[in-house]
Structure 1
Amino acid sequence: MASRAPETHATDPRNPRRPHRHAPHPGRRRSLTSDRRPRGGDRHHRWLRQDGEGIGPHPVACPTDQVLLGRAHFGDENGETTYYCGLILIDGQRVKVGAPSWSEAQRESNSFFAAPQNEVLVGRQHSGDENGPTRYATASLSAWGRTVELTSYRWTPGQREGSSHSKAGDYEVMVGRQHSGDENGQTGYQYARIAG
């Protein structure tokens, strides 16, 4: 069965049931929206903002049926982190995101995580500074009762964590992250393309 390329959408943060064309900027910093319009539909993001990433053990998880599409971080462990989440649609059908599974914690300053084959990142938890623990939530995707497969896995070049910003390309989802050192150390992200 031939299908169109998948689309990614986000919902209006003020009303999660209503899709919208332009996401409002909820934070106090610069706007980090994406207004690109790929083939097959609009692509927007929902923000999950966390001030002081190193403060508190609370995990960040995407809303129901949304996946991580990107992340930005400014400053040290007390800086501001933004997570970009979005819906996936294939031929107009909303892709179902399975129940999250949390990884074992690892030390942030020498961390490497890649989701299992055909699973995506849906959350992250970190507490403390670069010596604190980090763990990730992954989930599988399904549509029409079948697993959605991922292809074309790629790692981004490293960038300084304290001023990092990374978003998935068209039809991609985030599937991994690696980091070394403190906020001046390098962070890289792994993305994979949704097979359509």
Structure 2
Amino acid sequence: MALSLRRAVPVLADGFEALAVARALTLNDAALQASGLLAIRVPRSSGGADVSVRILTKVLLTLATADPALAQRYRAHTLTVESLRACGGPFEDVLAGRWPADHPPTRPGPLAPLLNAAIDLGIAKRMLTEATRTWSEHVPWLPAPVPERLSELTADLRIAEALLDTAAATIDLGRPAAAISTAISRAHASITNTTIKLGLPS
């Protein structure tokens, strides 16, 4: 059943505010509902922030790095909002803070694989952070190549994040479907390669 708030959620001003809110968010469903992040892809003409796909992807990546399960639920919600965008609304439920994620999106388009990649990258970043913390706190005396390996993986993740950002930009710019698919595939391949190095299932 869809959850709801009695009052409307705040409408965030722009992508900068959306990213700031995502970074400071208390990681639970109620906080996400009240944050305004549920409505960031609602068009401005309908009362939303209408942020770019690039910003949406960064928000999801931020959530996935902190809490992959919450990010998965946010992804499902976002794809439903995209379906509403495709047919012109209505957006009243979204602006009221409801989660329509139990209604499967009918036209996810290229956004679905892009957001999947963002979550995978967030999980990889989380795992690398934990590995780095473990090494620095418990076994800092280990010789190279341990720290060198961590540095290499950090660089790999930065490359993957740049490719993900490029893929999101192709959607914002309205590139042809083939170009979007290629960009997403490159990002996904880079993320998969890095997760394998981290020992995560691909």
TM-score (ref. length: structure 1): 0.28
Structure with the largest fraction of strand: 1
Structure with the largest fraction of helix: 2
- Bigger Cα Rg: 2
TM-score (ref. length: structure 2): 0.28
